[in-house]
Structures are given as C-alpha cells and as structure tokens.
Amino acid sequence: MPMLVVAVTLACWTYCRPLSAQAPALGYAFPPAVQIGETAVVQLGGYDFTSDMQFFSHHPGVKLETEGRPGEFFVPPPPYWFGEKSRDAAFPIPREVEAQVTLATDVTPGLARWQVANANGVSAAAVLLATAEPVFVERRWRDDPQTLPTLSVKKSFGVSGRIGKIAEVDRYRCTVEQDGPVTAELFARRLGAEFNGLLEVHELASDGSTLVMDRADTLGSDLQLTWTARGGRAYEVRLHDIDYRGNRAYVYHLKLSAGPRVVATLPATLSPGETREVQLIGYGLSAAAKSGKERETEVAAPAPLQQVQRRVEAPANAQDTWIYRLATPHGDTDVSFPIVAVAEQTVTSSQAGAGSDAVH
C-alpha cells in the first residue's frame, strides 16, 4: 500500500508539473524568393510564435521590417488522407507574421538567412532566396494552370508557389520564343521545405499535350531538368510532391530559363594567371545543322548532354571564384571556376588505367 501511494504521488507530480516555455521555430517564408533591388511583402511562418518576437536578418543587404504580431492558426484544409496514411503524424500548425523585405541592389544572388527570438529563446535560422530574375507569385484558380510570360534567352524568370494541400499539382504555362534548350530549376529543399518534388514538362497542342520529360527528386536535394524546346510552342510545367503530400510549409521557387547550361568542367579549378584547355560539359553547348524538313518533323525532347573545349585564361589577380563567359549557338552563359593556388593535374583514362595496373 505505501508503494502504491508513492507511485500515485509521483505520477500526479509529473502530470501537474508545468511545461517549460518553447522557443519559437521557423517554418517558411512566402513568397520564398525576392528580386534583388526590390521590396516585397512576405508572410513569415513558424510555430510557438508570441507577440514579443524580434526578427533579425543576417545579411547586410537584406532589410526585414515587421511589427512581429502573429496572426491566426492555419489548420490544414481538405482533402485528408484515409487508410494507412491517415495514421501518419500530423504536421505542426503554423502562424504567420507579415513582413516587408527589401533587398539592396548589390546583394549577391543566393540564400539570405534570417532568425527570430523572444523571451523563451532563439529559433534556428531560415532562408530567403535573393534572385536576379523577376519573380511571379502563384495565383491560380483551383486546378487551372497559371500563364507566365514568353520565355526567351534574354528574359528568364521564376515563379514562387506552394504545394498547400494533399494531391495538389501546380501547373504553369509559357511560350518559348525560339528553338533551343530550356531549363527548369526547383528550389525547395534549399529553402527548408521538406518535400520531394516531381517535375513534368508537356508540350501543348490543339489536340492535347505530349509528355516531353519528367524527373523526380528522390534524393531530397532539389533538381534541374533541361529539354530542347521548339520556338513558338507552348509548354506546361507541372509540379507536385512525389507522394502527393501537401502542407502550408511546402513552399518552392521554380526558375525557368532559356539557353545553355554547363553542369561540369574538366579541370574543375584554375590557378591565378593559368592558361589551359578546358572541357565544358552541359546542354545546348553546340548545335548541328538541320534541314527544313528535319525541323518540321522533329519533336521536343530531353536535351542531349554535349561537350565542347575552350582555351581559358584566368586573370593573374583572380581570387576565390572567377567567372568565364561561354558563347554558344544558343546564347551566352557564365561558368564559375574556383581559384586555387596549385594548378589542378588532369589525369586521362589511359593514365588512370596504367596507374591501377601498377597498383595491382
């Protein structure tokens, strides 16, 4: 009996003990991307928000202004899972604070970190994407596609959206001005959104649409895909989670650009003042001549991987990273070379084979 009394007393003491205050946690920003040199109104979402929060920007060129008063709780809208998936743990319910974000004109494109704190503690850092291209915000009616401006080599842009509910598929349409490679790049994981995106590209016609290519982010590291578009044709890019999940925190930025894309170089680095032959590997780096009949009968398809060689000379005063401007039949593109003190040694396949024989 005394042991029972002790056990009941301990249980009551544990149950009645006050919980420690929770530090705020950040979830997302919407829209998650802001054009450099512009000011945008952004909703900052998070959890355990209070009215005494202070917001901090860790980038000198990014100004964050807000009253810090959180709004209502956002309960996930229908549809809801049933069956096995209905037993999954529920997502936390966020609140949002409206903020005005201003980016200076000299901000470098990339991720800018921000943070919040209150009397209970400080949150982990979250990110905003600073981009040089114009940013459009998702404004679709139900499941209808959103029409974007015409895409050309001289005019790339991005669209910021979110996979807000289960089974949602976001669709964007645009017309491509001329023949050549077009790239769609997804920013989601890099923005803190924990979903695995799947991109599909469809070429539209009066009698329907044709799937050009698709790609899934099974590694959780975001993705890029490049296809060979036909000038004057309309294309639809579709995005959804690989498991058709959805949540208010599933924000993303989808960048669309026309022109070449370099994915690798050999060697990968250069030293100051170095001149050498460099192999550049990517999409849309060269073009084969085609007859008029071939152009009429060809169809849009995934872009083939190509390789070109250029003689590159790094400046003697180059430091950290040097940008090389590559000219191609489909336009120019920038290639970044890390600058190192010691010149990189390139090993050919024959040399590598001889080395492995010597070892064995």
Candidate CATH numbers 3.20.20.60, 2.40.50.140, 2.60.40.10, 3.40.50.150; the one for domain 25-131: 2.60.40.10
pLDDT of 291: 40
Rounded Cα–Cα distance for residues 132 and 109 (Å): 6
Q: Which residues of the chain have pLDDT under 50?
A: 17, 289, 291-297, 356-360
pTM, 2 dp: 0.86
Residue in 301, 289, 285 with CA at minimum distance from that of residue 333? 285
Q: Are 102 and 114 in contact (CB under 8 A)?
A: no
The contacts of residue 157 (CB under 8 Å, 6+ apart) are: 133, 134, 135, 136, 148, 149, 151, 255, 256
The phi, psi pair for 102, rounded to 5°, reads: -120, 125
pLDDT of 182: 96
Place of tokens 């050549």: 180
pLDDT of 142: 81
| Sequence spans of domains, the chain | 25-131, 135-259, 262-359
pLDDT of 297: 46
pLDDT of 13: 54
Say which CATH superfamily domain 135-259 falls into. Answer: Mitogen Ypm (2.60.120.510)
pLDDT of 359: 43
> β-pairing, 54-57 with 180-187?
unpaired
Rounded Cα–Cα distance for residues 138 and 38 (Å): 18
Q: Are 101 and 64 in contact (CB under 8 A)?
A: yes
pLDDT of 197: 97
Rounded Cα–Cα distance for residues 186 and 189 (Å): 9
pLDDT of 292: 46
In this predicted model, what pLDDT tens digit does every residue of 315-330 receive, in sequence order?
Answer: 999 888 999 999 999 9
Rounded Cα–Cα distance for residues 284 and 262 (Å): 9
